[in-house]
Structure 1
Amino acid sequence: MSRPLYVASPILPKLDDLRPYLEGIWDRRMLTNGGPLHDELEEALSRHLGIPTAMLFNNGTIALMTALRMFDLPSGGEVITTPLTFAATAHAISWNGLAPVFADVSPDDLTLDPASVEAAITPKTSAILAVHVYGTVCDLDALQDIATRHGLPLIYDAAHAFGTTVSGRPIGTFGDASVFSFHATKLFHTFEGGLLATNREEDRQTIYYLRNFGIKNEEEVVGIGINGKMNELQAMIGLLNLPQVEDERQTRAKLRQNYKSFLSDLPGIRLQPDQPGVSNSEQYFALQIDPEKFGRTRDDVYEALKSMDIFARKYFHPICTDFEPYRGYPIHSVWPQPAVDLVKTRVLCLPFHGGVEEQDIAQIRAVFLS
């Protein structure tokens, strides 16, 4: 039984497997700027994720900022997104000189609610940025319909959806662009890293310039870009971790069923819904606790687990509109009270990785059944 036990624990390659890669890096003395390991990982991820244009970044936030930048949105334009997300989603909008507009989540699956998105659209709306939260896939058809009718780019923050498919179709091929995070807390990681994916081959050159200062060659800078390049050490970790991803995903799938075996029928416990035809990324195990029906609050359960060095996460709490930069921003909703205001007091993510042992599960079960 390992303690403390956290929500996430990264897969790591064996140290001995690093040596030949490190020797190659040291021999070549090419550390960044599109080295051979970077290019090898980019090609491997394009195949693995089934995405024609899949370009690596040094982190997911820079990739998200670039995704917004590539559509040349007007300064001050509004981008509709969810408040139930990591702060980087909203920050990427603001960093681009755009205005985040928050729409409510669906009470059923906690993803961006299409009806609330429609209600949030104004003449200044420039794009939609949706999030596949906890690995649960957004209402793809409804959001695409809204985006098409209003002529809006549709971008997905797919940080929680690595490897997900919908009826066999890769998640990164929906919408106009998708961004993946390879932070150490993610199923697949490169310590830090990210990827920007689109369905269009012609986007590759645009993304390349945006990722590399707008540099065309030794003497030409043809646009305004940023330094978003992934280095060779990050790519090395990615190449060594990628073959381990499926085993870890299967381990987490079994853990999901183990959790569901004692949580599914408890009054006041609501789990993320199963989505027919969707292959789950197995990124997080999230639930909601209704204090009236369950008899205890989310915070009660959180503290009980914490007392045993089991660190669940109130994720996402606070939500974006609770943070200083966005405090006071309205949440557009089709309900009298935004659903997310209640969700944020109830949501909890349990430890979910290959390091969770049977004894850990037994202790977590005891907390919920006590």
Structure 2
Amino acid sequence: MKHLISQKNSLVLSRLTNLDAQSIEPVPVVRPSMPPLEDVLPYLRDIWASGDLTNNGIFVRRLQEELQGYFDVPYVSLVANCTLGTLLALRALGITGDVITSPYTFVATTNAIVLAGATPIFADIDPETLNLSPTAVAEQITERTQAILAVHCYGIPCDVEALQAIADRRGIPLIFDAAHCFGVKVGGRSVLAYGDCSIVSFHATKVFNTLEGGAIVSSNPQLVEAIGQLANNGIIDNENVNSIGLNAKMSELHAAVGLAQLPYVSDELAKRRTIVEAYLSALSSVQGLRFIQPSSDVVHNSYMFPIIVEPDYPITRDKLCEILRQKGISARKYFYPSVADLPPYAGAPSTGPGTLAVARRAADSVLCLPVFPGLDLAVQNRIIEIVRNPLS
């Protein structure tokens, strides 16, 4: 009888424990920022009244102009998403050969290269910034190399000057996947102004979003015009098509959300900075953790907070991720595995044994903790306590 009572008590305790865990609202690693609905409604009324839903409408043109001023760049071309923007940039530049790129990125970067008809060649990354190593890039240059596609990982700028010098010596375009880089500056200048062009994402998870969308930034008007035509199926006018394009236009609805969102960006960035500063202050003394932080000449957007879990931390990165998950907190192994180890790309000459050691180590050790403007301080403190004392 005592045994049955003990079993019953254990079952009740287990159910109560599970109920308590389920009652805690899960904490996402990111949460989309949205403007007040009342700010969006006037735009929707105008769209409904005009019947203009797409094809470079008034709100798309207005958002382009406002972003040109925000970034202090001459040309911004809005597109349906960052992946299509990267593909269009490669197509407009006529890239069909080898493209040196990073294996430590979201797979969309590499997919765009292949979809454009080119071949990705992976070069290793810098252990401090997790961006393409200029030295590794130089080692991969061959007569087949037609472009460099670098990634500003987590919004941390690449070594833009060193990469530009390599591109100039070779006489090839330098393209930046700047998906994470809204509001980022280096040396007082928008990071989007570097290279032949930069592509930024306005996906729902980014610091500025249009629900879904992106933009191509360039100082080359001919390139911007070519990209604009390709984004509209290669159409010049009602009777002429001069290239094989696709439909990559941003709609008026998405642009309207962006226009409503833009006035709130500065406040959103300030809230993100506060969250990141709190993490750094609380975790910087923890043995076995390392942080990826921008240099002093960079204005960063605090897009993510990646920690590098090193061997002298009490547990592995994967175990820490699992402990956080069990306690209702989402953390992301971002980017794991490296693109070079995904089935579509594994086995390529640049992915063989002994290559890309830094990128593979980063993929196995980086964990991104939750960062979004609505993150409650008490919740952040709970995350910090778990990371500081993962075995307690």
TM-score, scaled relative to structure 2 = 0.91
Match of 2:86 among 64, 68, 85: 64
Q: Which has the larger radius of gyration?
A: 2
Asked if 1:89 is matched to 2:109, the reply is yes
**Matched AA of 1:266:** V
Do the aligned partners of 2:174 and 2:195 also contact (CA within 8 Å) in 1?
yes
Do the aligned partners of 2:157 and 2:294 also contact (CA within 8 Å) in 1?
no
Matched with 1:220 is: 240
Asked if 1:102 is matched to 2:122, the reply is yes
Q: Give the deviation of 1:17 after TM superposition.
A: 2.1
Matched with 1:138 is: 158
Matched with 1:186 is: 206
Match of 1:41 among 63, 83, 89: 63
Q: Give the deviation of 1:273 after TM superposition.
A: 2.7
Matched with 1:197 is: 217
Do the aligned partners of 2:124 and 2:356 also contact (CA within 8 Å) in 1?
no
Distance 2:256 2:356 in 1: 48
Q: Secondary structure at the match of 2:199?
A: strand
Residues 82-119 of structure 1, C-alpha deviations (whole Å, 9 max, x = no match): 00000110000000111100000101110001111111
Match of 1:27 among 49, 55, 67: 49
Matched with 1:260 is: 280
Distance 1:51 1:95 in 2: 28
Do the aligned partners of 1:159 and 1:180 also contact (CA within 8 Å) in 2?
yes
Do the aligned partners of 1:181 and 1:193 also contact (CA within 8 Å) in 2?
yes
Matched with 1:319 is: 338
Identity of aligned residues (%): 40
Distance 1:4 1:50 in 2: 39
Distance 2:24 2:101 in 1: 38
Asked if 1:347 is matched to 2:370, the reply is no
Do the aligned partners of 1:104 and 1:331 also contact (CA within 8 Å) in 2?
no
Matched with 2:377 is: 358
**Matched AA of 1:37:** F
Q: Give the deviation of 1:356 after TM superposition.
A: 1.1
**Matched AA of 1:60:** C
Q: Secondary structure at the match of 1:326?
A: coil
**Matched AA of 1:202:** Q
Distance 2:304 2:273 in 1: 10
Matched with 2:302 is: 282
Q: Secondary structure at the match of 1:148?
A: helix
Q: Give the deviation of 1:337 after TM superposition.
A: 6.3
Gaps of 5+ in 2: 1-22
Q: Give the deviation of 1:271 after TM superposition.
A: 0.2
Alpha carbons of structure 1 residues 158 and 2: separation in structure 2 relative to 1, 3 Å: farther
Q: Give the deviation of 1:216 after TM superposition.
A: 1.2
Gaps of 5+ in 1: none
Q: CA RMSD in A?
A: 1.6
Q: Give the deviation of 1:336 after TM superposition.
A: 7.1
Q: Give the deviation of 1:3 after TM superposition.
A: 2.2
Bigger fraction of residues in helix: 2
Aligned pairs (5 A) from 1:164-179: 164-179=184-199
Alpha carbons of structure 1 residues 319 and 336: separation in structure 2 relative to 1, 3 Å: closer
Q: Give the deviation of 1:71 after TM superposition.
A: 0.9
Q: Secondary structure at the match of 2:175?
A: strand
